[in-house]
Amino acid sequence: MSDFFDPYNADRPLMMKCSCGREHTVADHHAEVAADSAAIELRRRSETAEFEAYSNEFIEATLVKALFPQDEMRRRFLRAVGKGTAMAAIASVLPVTSLQALAQEAGTKKGTLEKTNLKVGFIPITCATPLIMAHPLGFYSKQGLNVEVTKTAGWALVRDKMINKEYDASHFLSPMPLAISLGLGSNATPMNVATIQNINGQAITLSLKHKDNRDPKNWKGFKFGIPFDYSIHNFLLRYYLAEAGLNPDTDVQLRVIPPAEMVANLRAGNIDGFLGPDPFNQRAVFDEVGFIHVLTKDLWNGHPCCAFGTSTEFIQKNPNTFAALYRAVLTSAAMARDPKNRELIAKVIAPSQYLNQPEAVLTQVLTGRFADGLGKIQTVPDRADFDPMPWQSMAVWMLTQMQRWGYIKGEVNYQQIAEKVFLITDARKHMKELGQPFAAGPGYAKHTIMGKVFDPAKPAEYLKSFAIQKAA
Ligand SMILES: [Zn+2]
Ligand SMILES: [Zn+2]
């Protein structure tokens, strides 16, 4: 302590602020110093030829996977047209590839960017890691952008600031752009999911008093926190409870609570548990008020959670700026995906202007080696992951759940909405021009949720198969 405040120095006034001159605590000072040196190391890694090659391959592989959700199809196509043609085709059809080229140019030719000063919103949770760390790592500025990443208190505020155009782009819960585009809970404003930020990375955390009550069948009367109605958290918790025979609308109470307030509500006994984002599941364990009952990875491995997106209007008015932004966030996702970077990333996002959390909590979340609050250390490397691919089939699944629980009434044109909001755009049309039939279209894959396969080609049938849903 004395080296910061220097209370025994007769030649200096005793200032109750940090010796660096700023008004922050010693702990904050240490967190910032650690964050700075971690950011320097990560930046160094990002400038190596190895990372650049990895990053480009990562983005390309993401795209190819989008076009060929079934590997069989990919191989058939490559055999039919050859690698060169396939690569040219992909470059010409998917926005990301052409955006990538555009954005690379943008860094050198600044005149091509329509707008360079941008405000990007985020909620302080680990889901937003790629979007946040792109700032201290210099990925935005490398693209010629001056981005202010702005911490936001809750999801309703994110929605409002996007609709009011106070933010140029934002961290969203991935169902939010669907809901906003459909005018659910707000005026209808066309929004897009440009990339998924993170997959997995959430959990059901329960109060320690329920340590011996692990069977959801016995949870009648429980109160749960969820971050927002239009969240994967709400849909997964409802799904999980309904599989156990509980009606989430009548057998339990679900309360919308901003993520940062979940642990305090658990401690105060206002809720029995929450299905929330990290680091708050781990923070509940760290604070000894809760335990991790189940990771959402174990309900739906690879489920989408948060997204990076903006309004359709912004993309139309600022295509080059959007491209540059896209490139920065994808580069960041490539870096966040690599497990060897995770410990340093925890340091970079820990300080008060970002997550404002103990580094030890973030390290446990990001490395997947964590205390579960029940006395065990678990090792789950893919507890949280960063896969940017915005599967349209995931959007279709979200729409089925919005219908199931009464957020959307009446008929839904699943594919049309999914393809309008989740950007993988024209790929199908262009592949057709190449004589390649895509029955299901790119961007659609089957997903397995709690052991049950969801086929995006049959959403209505899927919806009908659930015994528990909101009474029509
Ligand atoms: Zn200081
Ligand atoms: Zn999330």
**What is the Å distance from ligand 1's center to 104 Cα?**
37
Q: Write phi, then psi, for 304 (nearest 5 degrees).
A: -75, 150
**pLDDT-based confidence at 472, cuts 50/70/90?**
low
Nearest listed ligand to the Cα of residue 198:
2
Radius of gyration over every alpha carbon of the chain, rounded to an integer in angstroms:
23
Nearest listed ligand to the Cα of residue 22:
1
**What is the Å distance from ligand 2's center to 305 Cα?**
4
**What is the Å distance from ligand 2's center to 122 Cα?**
11
Q: Which one is predicted more confidently, 71 or 462? A: 462
Average pLDDT over the chain, rounded to whole? 87
b/e burial code for range 91-126 (CB count within 10 A of at least 16 → b): eebbbbbebbebbbebbeeeebbebbebebbbbbbb
b/e burial code for range 70-80 (CB count within 10 A of at least 16 → b): eeebeeebeee
Give CA–CA dist 382/11, Å, rounded.
Answer: 54
* 60 has a pLDDT exceeding 60: yes
406's CB contacts (< 8 A; 6+ apart) are 470
Name the region of 9 (left: φ>0; alpha: ψ -120 to 50; beta: rest).
beta
* 69 has a pLDDT exceeding 70: no
Give CA–CA dist 80/68, Å, rounded.
Answer: 14
Q: According to the model, what pLDDT value does residue 195 have?
A: 83
**What is the Å distance from ligand 2's center to 272 Cα?**
21
Q: According to the model, what pLDDT value does residue 430 have?
A: 47
3-state secondary structure of 192: strand
**What is the Å distance from ligand 1's center to 26 Cα?**
6
**What is the Å distance from ligand 2's center to 271 Cα?**
21
Question: CA nearest 194: which of 397, 428, 421, 426?
Answer: 421
Nearest listed ligand to the Cα of residue 123:
2
**What is the Å distance from ligand 1's center to 333 Cα?**
30
- The bridge status of strand 369-371 relative to strand 377-379 is antiparallel
* 432 has a pLDDT exceeding 60: no
Both ends of the chain: CA-CA distance in Å? 63
* 272 has a pLDDT exceeding 90: yes
Question: CA nearest 336: which of 145, 132, 146?
Answer: 132
Give CA–CA dist 320/143, Å, rounded.
Answer: 10
**pLDDT-based confidence at 229, cuts 50/70/90?**
very high
Q: Can you read off the two tokens belonging to residue 317?
A: 């008015």
pTM summary value: 0.87
**What is the Å distance from ligand 2's center to 385 Cα?**
11
**pLDDT-based confidence at 102, cuts 50/70/90?**
very low
Give CA–CA dist 237/242, Å, rounded.
Answer: 8
- The bridge status of strand 306-311 relative to strand 191-196 is antiparallel
Question: CA nearest 177: which of 423, 464, 388?
Answer: 423
- The bridge status of strand 202-207 relative to strand 169-173 is unpaired
3-state secondary structure of 202: strand
* 428 has a pLDDT exceeding 90: no
* Percentage of the chain modeled with pLDDT above 70: 86
Mean pLDDT over residues 259-268, rounded?
Answer: 97
**pLDDT-based confidence at 366, cuts 50/70/90?**
very high
Give CA–CA dist 175/182, Å, rounded.
Answer: 11
Give CA–CA dist 198/200, Å, rounded.
Answer: 7
Q: Write phi, then psi, for 231 (nearest 5 degrees).
A: -140, 150
CB contact at 8 A, 133 and 349: yes
Q: According to the model, what pLDDT value does residue 331 have?
A: 85
**What is the Å distance from ligand 1's center to 23 Cα?**
7
**pLDDT-based confidence at 82, cuts 50/70/90?**
confident
Give CA–CA dist 256/294, Å, rounded.
Answer: 20
Q: Can you read off the two tokens belonging to residue 143?
A: 């693209």
Q: Can you read off the two tokens belonging to residue 425?
A: 């755009």
